[in-house]
Amino acid sequence: MTATTDGSTGALPPRADSATETDEPLPEAAGTVGIRHAAERAMRRATDFLLAEQDAQGWWKGDLETNVTMDAEDLLLRQFLGIRDERTTQAAALFIRGEQREDGTWATFYGGPGELSTTIEAYVALRLAGDTPDEPHMARASAWVREQGGVAASRVFTRIWLALFGWWKWEDLPELPPELIYFPKWMPLNIYDFGCWARQTIVPLTVVSAKRPVRPAPFPLDELHTDADNPNPAKDLAPVASWDGAFQRLDKALHQFRKVAPRRLRAAAMKAASRWIIERQENDGCWGGIQPPAVYSVIALHLLGYDLEHPVLREGIASLDRFAVWREDGARMIEACQSPVWDTCLATIALADAGVPADHPQLVKAAEWMLGEEINRPGDWSVKRPQLPPGGWAFEFHNDNYPDIDDTAEVVLALRRVKHQDRERLEQAIGRGVRWNLGMQSKNGAWGAFDVDNTSAFPNRLPFCDFGEVIDPPSADVTAHVVEMLAVEGLSHDPRTRRGIEWLLAEQEPDGSWFGRWGVNYVYGTGSVVPALVAAGIPGSHPAIRRAVAWLESVQNDDGGWGEDLRSYKYVQEWSGRGASTASQTAWALLALLAAGESESKAVERGVDFLARTQREDGSWDEPHFTGTGFPWDFSINYHLYRQVFPLTALGRYVNGEPFAGAKGS
């Protein structure tokens, strides 16, 4: 067993027998003909399954599973607003109980270690549902919380939720002044220094921090403290010359400023924050298409006097119900966000790779829906690119303020695969998307997900920001998708594309892999970058490609698949490319190897065989493991459609060949 630095214990995954428990042993080599036959059969079944999953409007959307903090915070919000009902409470509790581990904890990803803040929030939610502290599952949880340092050791966001009910003191939380809204964009720590997801959360939280509301607590939580009489003992400050020490002292200064802040200035700042929040509410009532900003925006506006029947709040609360997934057993799971645009473009590419005709009615319907989702107005991205015309796509159903670069690149690639009846409309939309993506290139030649040059080192240093990544620097996976799209559009030799390629080559890890920001992890990064470089004209014989191939071959599991645990974000040496084999991660490795010209290699044959063997009879794959990320390590995602679209893409490219081999400009 290998002990991790957070005190949990987990065995490093073996190379052998790491697929699902229902897999049969790897058969004797059946030869290339047998593998190809199995791949064709698996591809046909997967195609039928995916086509059957399309919504009548043309989109696909799989569940987006994260962790139980979403469900716990939803109940706490309803308790705070006085709208919690018994049906919702018990359905949420049923889901939360089902996610608890034997040791009493809750994790943030499948098979991961217990996580303190998640366990605290889940415990409090179950207390709201009527579970008592002396019940065995609750006693195990509270004992573990105390062993880990109690509430005092939890993240700031957890303690904010507790402060709303007097379970924690507001004065013992980092200060977040609403005057932040006035910082000009050239000033450090202005709101546009934060990534869009953090920005949408922090602005309403400045109002909550200023108001410091407390609702009557329905029960005490003494059992979650190591010392109920002194739950937050004073801690020594870090050295003044260190970044941590400097920001700790800044926080102390902000606490003093709170006492002397001019009332009129503070009131005006909160009013400006409320305008900022309301201006960014989407047409369906949500904020940015994601749940956390919606929750905090509702609280902030309610504190500023908006009653629950005000249209802004009424629609905001109603939008939260659309994040709920009701399961057959009566449990209710909350999605952090929804991914229809992402799922639809990936499904379209997968079906096209599998040989579905470009004029197939379902692909045409998908293209029509995607065209209707194009964003044609400026959003927060225009703060740094005021002259750039809009164009592009977001991730969610409704998120006009935050189109993202990754989705835009993949939507363009998907639209290129469809024979739409209105060719001019399609070409114009593609042209706007390409122009917008090029305009969002950062100064280092790469691309982030939502913003340009969102790389300030200061936001992550704030004592308040301990909940995950709060900036949006360029990443290899997003840059690779843009480069691949530009290559397909005949722009391989454009200087902007070449800068992106140079950045990717420089970012390769010494072992031959690439870091994956939005997917787990080095397998995802490598599976994204290699196809992009090849599409852009980098030959399979290039040293960078050969190093990537060698790395992928070295981390292939004995069952023929590939897998990588989220712990690779925290413990790189032990976990890079290591984990139980999954369908999606096996597919990512295969996409890289196939692009590199390895279609006849043993590694590819074994990977294809893994996908064929582990496929269910209905054409789907099972994948409980989390292979996506919101914040690396801190916030993990199981995209339920990944297990379908990526294996189908890989099988299609194995059977039918690389789709962009003749791309313009390559």
The answer to whether the beta carbons of residues 36 and 651 sit under 8 Å apart is no
395 C-beta neighbours (distance < 10 Å), count: 23
Q: Which two tokens stand for residue 209?
A: 């921090």
Burial classification of residue 494, based on how many CB atoms lie within 10 Å of its CB (0-12 exposed, 13-18 middle, 19 or more buried): middle
Q: Determine the residue type at 133.
A: P
Confidence at residue 664, expressed as pLDDT on a 0 to 100 scale: 47
Q: Which of 109, 106, 46 is nearest to 580 (CA)?
A: 109
Q: Do domains 27-56+511-666 and 65-227+240-334 have the same CATH topology?
A: yes
What pLDDT shows up at residue 26? 39
Rg over CA atoms, the chain: 25
576: which 2 tokens? Answer: 């890079």
Low-confidence ranges of the chain (pLDDT < 50): 1-29, 662-666
Cα atoms in the Cβ-side hemisphere of radius 13 Å centred on 446: 22
Position 665 scores a pLDDT of 40
Q: What CATH number was assigned to the domain covering residues 65-227+240-334?
A: 1.50.10.20
Fold assignment, 27-56+511-666: Glycosyltransferase (1.50.10)
C-alpha–C-alpha distance, residues 14 and 666, integer Å: 40
CA end-to-end span of the chain: 48
> Could you list the active site residues?
406
Maximum Cα–Cα distance across the chain:
78
Buried/exposed 179-200: b ≥16 CB within 10 Å, e otherwise: bbbeeeeeeeebbbbbbbbbbb
pTM given for the model: 0.92
Alpha carbon distance 108, 69 (integer Å): 9
pLDDT reported for residue 30: 52
**Residues contacting 441, CB < 8 A, separation 6+:** 447, 452, 482, 496, 499, 500
DSSP 389: P
SS3 label, residue 454:
strand
Contact present, 373 and 393 (Cβ < 8 Å): yes
pLDDT digits (tens, 9 = 90+) for 171-184: 999 999 999 999 99
Helix (H) or strand (E) holding 64: strand 64-65
Helix residue spans in 536-598 (DSSP H): 543-554, 572-575, 583-595
**Tokens read off for 605:** 């044959």
Q: In the chain, where are the structural domains located?
A: 27-56+511-666, 65-227+240-334
Q: What is the DSSP letter of 109?
A: S
Do residues 482 and 172 touch, judged by C-beta distance below 8 A? no
Residue 413: CB atoms within 10 A of its CB come to 23
Q: Where are the alpha helices (DSSP H) in 280-375?
A: 291-303, 311-321, 340-353, 361-372
Residue 189: strand, helix, or coil: coil
